[in-house]
Amino acid sequence: MHEKCGVVGVSLTERGAARPLYYSIYALQHRGQESAGIVTHDGFQQYAHVETGLVGDAFAAEDLDGLRGSVGIGHVRYPTSGGTDACCAQPFSVSFKSGSLGLAHNGNLVNTDDVRADLEERGHAFTTQGDTEVIAHDLAHNLLESDLVRAVKRTMDRLHGSYSLTIAHDDTVMGVRDPQGNRPLCIGDLGDGYVLASESAAIDTLGGDLVRDVRPGELVVLAEDGSNFDSYQLFSSPRSANCFFEYVYFARPDSVIGGKLVYEVRRELGRRLWAESPVETDVVMPVPDSGRAFASGYAEAANEKPRLDPSGDDGDAGGTTDDEEPRVEFAEGLMKNRYVGRTFIMPTQDERERAVRLKLNPIKSTVEGKSVTVIDDSIVRGTTSTQLVELLKEAGAEEVHVRIGAPPIVAPCYMGIDMASREELIASDRTTEEVRDTIGADSLAYLSIDAIAQSAGRERADLCLGCVTGEYPYDIDDETTDRDVQRPAVGDSAVRAASSDD
């Protein structure tokens, strides 16, 4: 169950929460298109509306009117490769003896089976296969025995893996990040309340101000009247495991993560891509939309740097000066049909290939008779780049050079990104030269891991690099880890499961 989702939570002084929640999940639509949901509380009762589909289709005005109260949480769910499955739409909501709970989860636990088995042994029955329900039951159980903060801490003690959660316990809204902070979460000030959101773009949409990121291992509890929030640093890890892919692809470019505007990080990645692998061509063009910021940084750097191969009659080998023509043209060479969904969810390879042509079409005048550099954020299966090279050559490009703003993806993601299995990843068993040959490009270069750490302003040791190194920051069955982490032992069942292995 790989879910790469968006979560929000709000607590307001007087206004109803439904509309701010609706707008904020709308702002996070890129993080998940499979289902959308909101859970609110009016001090007496919990209200929920969860539907499959896009945010704009999932809620009618009456649905929002029915979501009463000034606190609540919301969620958009990422499609899994298995297609739609209504059981796992979120927020998950349920009422227990300890009160009502709503839970919205971004991330992926790696010890769900242990925790579920332990809870089943204690009489909990589950209605879904998802890990969110497991968290909800565990938390409900702990809430019977201890106060809110202690209950959350006990639940976090048992969970292993990646999670950014927004939680509504009756009319108290909370946000929490796993101790290594794999998925993002931030706090915003709305003037008459507070908001928690996966990305700051959602805070902007509500007209609020970004306060700061929620820290790894931190629990943030919003006051019921929206007047302030409390912070509890429940866990601290020597190292973080922030997903580098948020900077490269997933987050909106207008979001701020770790104090950095994602757009500027991507432009810097593009500049470093030029520095690491320059190629002089007539035109630099992005793969829209995900390659845009990279391509503009790449072209900018290309036009600043001294010439690689000064032509004899040019006289000097100096950099471009104001009166000189830019060395490379930066142009739109590909038009995107914005109504086509994300190609990777197409179940068969044939459908995926057709979809690339449906989604992208070359602009002939930009490419005909020219040597072009096309820039994208990443290569996963290689479908997009293979099709693109072919399309551009059909449109008359003489040479097609591919530059990628991420390192080769060699291993699956277990942390909530629905990527692909190892066999499907084009770079998992190929050298860069072999990938170049497979996609048919005249040259191919990826970006280094260090360039990403430097551009994001993070230590390499504080990033989750599992998909590009094959070494994970969590203890995952049959995989290696890049740090000193251990799964918590969960109840008797975990001990039994461990001993029955041998």
Q: Is 187 in the site for ligand 5GP (CB under 6 A)?
A: no
CB of 387 to ligand 5GP, least distance (A): 8
The answer to whether residue 205 forms part of the interface with ligand 5GP (CB under 6 A) is: no
Task: Catalogue the E-assigned strands of 274-416.
Answer: 283-286, 329-330, 334-336, 360-362, 371-376, 399-404
Q: Is 23 in the site for ligand 5GP (CB under 6 A)?
A: no
Under the criterion CB under 6 A, does residue 380 sit at the interface with ligand 5GP? Answer: yes
446 binding ligand 5GP? (CB under 6 A): no
Binds 296: which of ligand 5GP, Mg ion, none (CB < 5-8 Å by kind): none
Q: How far is the CB of 74 from Mg ion (least distance, A)?
A: 26
Ramachandran area for residue 83 (φ above 0: left; ψ -120 to 50: alpha; else beta): left
The rounded distance, in Å, linking the Cα atoms of 325 and 12 is 55
Site string for ligand 5GP, 262-301 (x = CB under 6 A): -------------------------x--x-----------
Give the nearest distance from C-beta 338 to Mg ion in angstroms.
13
Quickly count: other Cβ atoms within 10 Å of residue 323's Cβ: 5
Determine the Cα–Cα distance for residues 345 and 127; give it in Å rounded to an integer. 26
Which residue has 């293979």 as its token pair? 386
**Residue 381 binds ligand 5GP, judged by CB under 6 A:** yes
| Nearer to Mg ion (CB atom), residue 420 or residue 490 | 420
Q: Taking a C-beta distance cutoff of 8 angstroms, is the pair 16, 70 a contact?
A: yes
Q: Which of 229, 249, 263, 414 binds ligand 5GP (CB under 6 A)?
A: 249
Distance between CA atoms of 207 and 214, rounded to whole angstroms?
19
In one-letter notation, the amino acid at residue 56 is G
Is residue 263 within 8 Å of residue 208, measured between CB atoms? no
Among the residue ranges 49-57, 174-182, 265-273, 377-385, the one whose residues contact ligand 5GP (CB under 6 A): 377-385
Give min distance, CB of 394 to ligand 5GP, in A: 18
Query: Which residue lies nearer to Mg ion by CB, 35 or 290?
Result: 290
What is the Cβ-side half-sphere exposure of residue 160, based on CA atoms within 13 angstroms? 20
Looking at the Cβ atoms of 232 and 344, the one nearer to ligand 5GP is 344
Question: Which residue, among 73, 76, 86, has the nearest Cα to 31 in the 3D structure?
Answer: 76
Binding characters for Mg ion, 274-313, by CB under 5 A (x = yes): ----------------x-----------------------
Point out the residue whose Cβ comes nearest to Mg ion: 290
Question: Per CB under 6 A, which of residues 394..433 are in contact with ligand 5GP?
Answer: 417, 419
Look up residue 162 and give its two tokens. 């990646």
Q: What is the CA radius of gyration of the chain?
A: 24
Q: Could you say whether residue 382 binds ligand 5GP (CB under 6 A)?
A: yes
Does 34 interact with ligand 5GP (rule: CB under 6 A)?
A: no
For the CB of residue 376, give the shortest distance to Mg ion in the complex, in Å: 6
The residue count of the chain comes to 502
Closest Cα partner for 76 from 127, 111, 26? 26
Q: CB under 8 Å to 488, separation ≥6 — which residues?
A: 111, 157, 158, 159, 160
Q: How far apart are CA 464 and CA 352, in angstroms?
A: 28
Integer CA distances (angstroms), 28 to 55, 57, 249, 351, in order: 9, 15, 14, 27
Q: Please identify, using beta-carbon distances, which residue of 38 and 334 lies nearer to ligand 5GP.
A: 334
Work out which of 159, 379, 402, 463 binds ligand 5GP, going by CB under 6 A: 379
Q: Which does 342 bind (CB under 5 to 8 A by kind): Mg ion, ligand 5GP, none?
A: ligand 5GP
| Of 293 and 380, CB closest to ligand 5GP | 380
To the nearest whole angstrom, how small is the minimum distance from the Cβ of residue 253 to Mg ion? 13
| CB-based contact 40:89 (threshold 8 Å) | no
Please, what is the minimum distance in Å from the beta carbon of residue 423 to ligand 5GP?
13
Q: How far apart are CA 217 and CA 80, in angstroms?
A: 27
Mask for 343-362, x = binds ligand 5GP (CB under 6 A): -x------------------
Task: Kindly state the tokens that stand for 212.
Answer: 């700061």
Find the part of the chain contacting ligand 5GP (CB under 6 A) among 54-62, 118-126, 381-389, 488-496. 381-389
Rank residues 64 and 346 by Cβ distance to Mg ion and give the closer one. Answer: 346
Q: Which residue, 298, 381, 384, 297, is CA-closest to 334?
A: 384
Cα separation of 82 and 84, whole Å? 7
Q: Which residues are catalytic?
A: 5
Cα distance between residue 109 and residue 134, in whole Å: 10
Interface segment toward ligand 5GP; rule CB under 6 A; list 108-116, 172-180, 382-390, 392-400: 382-390
CB 109 within 8 A of CB 161: yes
Residues at the interface with Mg ion (CB under 5 A) = 290
Residues at the interface with ligand 5GP (CB under 6 A) = 249, 287, 290, 342, 344, 376-385, 417, 419
